[in-house]
Structure 1
Amino acid sequence: MEIRRLNGGDAEGYRVLRHEALLKNPEAFSSSYEDEMYYEASDYGQRLDSKFTYTFGAFNEGQLVGVVTLVPEGKVKIRHRANIFAMYVTPSQRGHGTGRLLMKMAIQQASELTSIEQIYLTVNASNEPAKKLYSSLGFETYGVDKKAMVIDGTYHDEDLMVLFL
């Protein structure tokens, strides 16, 4: 398993995996497939080439099978914070430590940015495997966002988690 920071050259693989994620696990993302279905690889390429975000990918035999994005805050008063977004591992690779490797890479990147003191993420309150992973890495739940999303008429709560570095 290779874990590395993605760039614009990875845009098509990222687009395919991102669309899979939005279709297979819509409850895990605030974006929907309908929001992003017309995004081209070039749209994702700009995101991946941004110097203000860090998107890491997990590759199995050259195939992108997992991603996570770390976004440090830019405003002066909250520059000590960063956020985890868009965490996804394709179903065939789950349970093999891929998500843990991705999260460790994002945490390591945050710790290397000397201003970052804490990392935030949200996770669907019913996603026990993800919550177990995040807790095992030191994240603590500090709140619940009730009815954070509605998908096909069903509300989903999100747990709010933080890791203090």
Structure 2
Amino acid sequence: MEIRQLNRTDAEDYLSIRLEALQSSPYAFASSYEEEKNQTAEKYKNRFTTPANTFTFGAFEESQLVGVVTLITEQLIKLNHRANIVAMYIKPEKRGIGLGKDLILKVLEKAYRLEGIEQIYLSVVTTNIPAKKLYASCGFEIIGKEKRALKIDNTYYDEEHMVLFL
């Protein structure tokens, strides 16, 4: 298994796994499949070519992209000591084998190398027990709960906000 930062040649594969994630785990993302289904790989080619404040990592098994995660650093002066982990997804058949932890550790490694980053935030749906355990095992702690954070059709999902102080 190879884990590395994505580049412009990975854009098509990223778009494919992104759309899969939005369809198979709609409660795990603020964005929806309906909002992103017409995106093109060009958006990600541009993002991966000049990653000023967004760093996306992928896990590859035999050159197939099977997991992704993105680190976004804050740009405002008063917030630029912070970063956020977003868009974490692992193909269902690859879950439970430590791949999520490997991706998170790769993101943390990147965050440690970025000048000025002191803390990393993420949000997770409260019912996603495996993800919550993963984040806790990497040192994240819950700092708050947002009731009814997401609404899909007529169902609400609460989110827990977590932080890791570097």
TM over 0.5: yes
Hey, what does 1:14 align to over in structure 2?
Answer: 14
Q: In structure 2, what is the equivalent of residue 112 of structure 1?
A: 113
Task: State TM-score, norm by structure 1.
Answer: 0.98
Tell me how far 1:51 sits from its aligned partner: 2.4
Instruction: Name 1:28's counterpart in structure 2.
Output: 28
Deviation at 1:114, TM superposition (A): 2.4
**Matched residue type, 1:13:** D
Rounded to whole Å, the distance in 2 between the matches of 1:27 and 1:161 is 17
**Partner Cα distance (1:7, 1:114) in 2:** 22
2:68 is aligned to: 67
User: What's the offset of the Cα at 1:87?
Assistant: 0.3
Q: Which residue is 2:59 aligned to?
A: 58
Residue in 2 that maps onto 1:121: 122
Instruction: After TM superposition, give the deviation of residue 32 of structure 1 in Å.
Output: 0.2
The reply on whether 1:137 has 2:146 as its aligned counterpart is: no
Rounded to whole Å, the distance in 1 between the matches of 2:151 and 2:45 is 29
1:112 CA drift (Å): 0.7
In structure 1, runs of 5+ residues without a counterpart are none
Q: Deviations over 1:59-100 (max 9, x none)?
A: 001000000000111111111100001000000100011111
How far apart in 2 are the matches of 1:11 and 1:163? 29
> TM-score, length-normalised on structure 2?
0.97
Structure 1 residue 45, shift from structure 2 partner = 1.6
- For 1:154 and 1:48, locate their aligned partners in 2 and report how far apart those are by CA, in whole Å: 34
> Equivalent residue of 1:83, what SS?
strand
Query: For residues 129 and 144 of structure 1, what CA distance do their matches in structure 2 show?
Result: 17
Aligned residue in 1 for 2:160 = 159
- Which runs of 4 or more aligned residues in structure 1 lie more than 3 Å from their structure 2 counterparts after TM superposition? none
